[in-house]
Amino acid sequence: MFRICKTLEIENGHMLARHPDACRFPHGHSRKVEIVLEAAELDDNGMVCDFKIVKDAVGEFLNTFDHALCMNTEDPMYPTLKAAFGERVIAFENTEPTTEVLAKTFFDTIAKGLADYAARSDTRYRLRAEVRLASVRVWETSSSWAEYSL
């Protein structure tokens, strides 16, 4: 199996309402999002796929998390902050937006974005149907990450 990884970076904040310590307050992270794709065979160019495909397929989605605050809708401050900052506050329905939850959220949306990209015929770069999203790893700090894979 061949694997490639494309890393994108976002500045992202969250609040963990149920956390017993400082993480219950708004705070931010310089997050790296590692997107790992795999295929059993290489394409005619000797690649799993071109790295540009990843950014084309999911860059816009990840940008919605850049300079945004992820919050549990049960947090008492959610309505106030949502009213004040609108789309820059991202709702997680009755769920703590931990790095683990972000990794799964990103995985699910990236998988759909890649499938949609592969189905298109108007792209400069082709994404073969046999290319599979293997995992998404989200770094919270330089020494801490969470990963989701099937």
89-121 pLDDT tens trace: 999 999 999 999 999 999 999 999 999 999 999
CATH number of the structural domain spanning residue 70: 3.30.479.10
Query: By residue range, what is the domain housing residue 58?
Result: 2-149
Q: Looking up tokens 């397929």, which residue turns up?
A: 57
Q: How many domains does the chain have?
A: 1
Q: Predicted confidence band at 139 (pLDDT cuts at 50, 70, 90)?
A: very high
